[in-house]
Structure 1
């Protein structure tokens, strides 16, 4: 507990010290992930964080105790200071290894003291309040569309924030727009697929698919049993109804006038191009 107390006291100083060194890395120091991002009443969401991209420094290992003033290389646990564990070639204090393994020293050093909090606009209290675990997750069951905000305060760096929202499906009123972007894959022209896996909870259903492009297209719903279906501009179909999953594919209908001008995908430049395509899916919820 002495080790955790020292780290907690140093982390608490973040709220007092006016440390404004700008060491913001190109890679964000932390990520926030909410899954699924489309959900139905009663569905649980997993809110997870990962702060392993914070900058490490060998000098910061001294915060782990006198025996860890620098990263200590090891071959096994016997090579480590008393109570330490050998992890990936470096010694880790027993307390850190058992409670917060992601914070164990590496060749790059140790993480700075930090506080991590997650709040939401549908909860009066923080979901995560001043946590010092490098990675973690919680489960929540909101009753409306929710905006989540991660706040990371670390010693010697500007505060960092990341946000993500999860949408509660209003039956028949909510939609998901799929954008199929045109591009060249080597010498072959085509459209990028849209991956809907892990986007929605198992209770979300497609009840209508509408061609919201200005061109006739051929659409497949990520399953051999769903499509292909040809849709004129503005035309809708129920033939692709079902779960919001799979890798969806779209292409110009051969009957569309734009299909007559085939683009050339060259090594140095592309000549001509087919239009991007768009499909709107109307969503609803189903009971268990």
Structure 2
């Protein structure tokens, strides 16, 4: 069946036709990521995908790991066919298949695992990167990765069709479906401003819970730095960032140059809190509240090493 699907795709390319996907049902599951998700111009981004489709022996063109019958083993000496290896306690000869694509998708390794159904997929990056994304067409592997160099905000789209009528032999009905996955890379050029809320909470006592910079700037490029922090409030804020003490007067800015990692904790200065109406915060009684202490963090990129 997989050979048929590849031939069908080739005919479509030669005849300039395209598969009408409008009637194909979307299938759940699948993962697509692009890392770093928060990047600097010139960063290499790694696209990873996994359709998470089930494995079954009937999906394999070369059954039993390319051996006559499924055979358990404790070492390669237990495997009678020359060149076969003991892989996860089963003899396996997928290495003898010369076609790399067939070896990966049509032969189970370990031999008892089974293969995944036919896949025809492609990955597009918008806007198109320079140099162009290599290997984004005619993808047959259910799991893999590609790379490209990012210069601006980019959207990554994974579009695929999965079909295997022979899946009936695995107890699956004949089906045709699509897997559509999307990811995005945000490029910091030249700077990015985000605000840490530092919100007041009564947790048995007055508190301004800390936040992790990794959560504020998830999957950030190693070239990114927290360049500075600014206090936009009309009162002084005290606290710390990644172990470094902070004290910012109203409207003041402090230069940092730190990696976007570690804890940020900030709250109104005690001398300011003493000027406010009384607040009661205990496990038994709550009355009034203190103000939040938001801070503005500015990220920027440093030159590659």
TM-score by length of 1: 0.66
Q: 2:221: which partner in 1?
A: 200
Mapping of residues 31-42 of structure 1, within 5 Å: 31-35=32-36, 37-40=38-41
Q: 1:152: which partner in 2?
A: 160
Structure 1 pair 220–105 and aligned structure 2 pair: CA distance change class (3 A): same
Q: Offset at 1:119? A: 1.0
Q: 2:27: which partner in 1?
A: 24
- Describe the SS at the equivalent of 1:130: coil
Q: 1:268: which partner in 2?
A: none
- Describe the SS at the equivalent of 2:221: coil
Alignment partner of 1:136 is 2:136: no
Q: Offset at 1:242? A: 0.8
- Describe the SS at the equivalent of 1:74: coil
CA contact (8 A) 1:258 1:274 kept: no
Q: Distance in 2 between matches of 1:258 and 1:90?
A: 74
Q: 2:109: which partner in 1?
A: 104
Q: Offset at 1:120? A: 0.8
Mapping of residues 239-278 of structure 1, within 5 Å: 239=255, 241-253=256-268, 255=270, 256=273, 260-262=279-281, 264=283, 278=294
Q: Distance in 2 between matches of 1:171 and 1:120?
A: 22
Q: Distance in 1 between matches of 2:103 and 2:157?
A: 25
Q: Offset at 1:192? A: 4.1
Q: 1:74: which partner in 2?
A: 72
CA contact (8 A) 1:217 1:250 kept: no
Unaligned runs of 5+ in 1: 1-5, 266-270
Q: Distance in 1 between matches of 2:148 and 2:33?
A: 14
Q: Distance in 2 between matches of 1:176 and 1:16?
A: 43
Q: Distance in 1 between matches of 2:219 and 2:40?
A: 11
Unaligned runs of 5+ in 2: 10-17, 164-174
TM-score by length of 2: 0.63
Structure 1 pair 67–199 and aligned structure 2 pair: CA distance change class (3 A): closer
Structure 1 pair 217–152 and aligned structure 2 pair: CA distance change class (3 A): farther
Q: 1:163: which partner in 2?
A: 182
Q: Distance in 1 between matches of 2:114 and 2:278?
A: 57
Q: Distance in 1 between matches of 2:56 and 2:202?
A: 43
Q: Offset at 1:281? A: 1.9
Q: Distance in 1 between matches of 2:220 and 2:87?
A: 35
**Considering only aligned residues, what root-mean-square deviation do their CA atoms show, in Å?**
4.8
Q: 1:287: which partner in 2?
A: 303
Structure 1 pair 287–23 and aligned structure 2 pair: CA distance change class (3 A): closer
Give the number of aligned pairs: 267
Structure 1 range deviating more: 85-94 or 14-23 = 14-23
Q: Offset at 1:273? A: 9.2
CA contact (8 A) 1:181 1:192 kept: no
Q: 2:59: which partner in 1?
A: 60
Q: Offset at 1:20? A: 6.8
CA contact (8 A) 2:108 2:114 kept: no
Q: 1:221: which partner in 2?
A: 241
- Describe the SS at the equivalent of 2:177: coil
- Describe the SS at the equivalent of 2:59: helix
